[in-house]
Amino acid sequence: MKWIAGVVVVLAVLLGIGAGYGLGQRAGFAQGKQAGKDSVTAASSTNVVNQLNTVLRGTNDLVARSNAASSQLSRLLAEAGRINSQSTEELRNALKKTAGDRLGCRYDDDVMRRLEASRIRAATAATSGTAAGVARGNGGAVSGAGGAE
């Protein structure tokens, strides 16, 4: 009977070891499965963050380019305003010279040339916009980039 008790003890120990092994294996499997999920989630999150950073860099570039275009447009419009004021003043001065002659509808040749040049500049600005260049009163032009041509 001693041997039966010994066999029972050995079986109990083996059963305990087997149960412990099974439980340990199951816990290890669950832990490994969760680690795999965490790894996939981390990789996916990193990918999303990288994509968002790319979008933000592109957006920042677009904002910088639109600010530069806005500044250039402001400079062009200010230059056009200055040129318009200058040509208006030149026209007034030219008309003052011959104010008496206009009573009989006679215009000096120089005035007529300036009027025609002004008409052409106005028509060009109206059809092409300020970016195509605004003619200066002195015959030059301001290019679309803001420099003299």
HEC readout, 4-16: HHHHHHHHHHHHH
Give yes or no for residue 111 having a pLDDT over 80. yes
Tokens of 7: 């066999």
pTM for the predicted model, two decimal places: 0.40
Element (H, E) at 92: helix 2-97
Give percent above pLDDT 90 in the chain: 7
Interval 96-120 mean pLDDT: 81
Q: For residue range 62-106, list pLDDT tens digits in order.
A: 899 999 999 999 998 888 888 888 888 888 888 888 777 767 677
Output the pLDDT for position 147.
39
Output the pLDDT for position 125.
80
The residue extents of the domains of the chain are 2-138
DSSP per-residue letters across 120-132:
HHHHHHHHH-GGG
Cα–Cα distance measured from residue 44 to residue 31, given in angstroms and rounded to the nearest whole number: 20
Interval 104-117 mean pLDDT: 82
Phi and psi for 142 in degrees, rounded to 5? -95, 125
Q: Answer for the pair 50, 123: CB distance below 8 angstroms, yes or no.
A: no
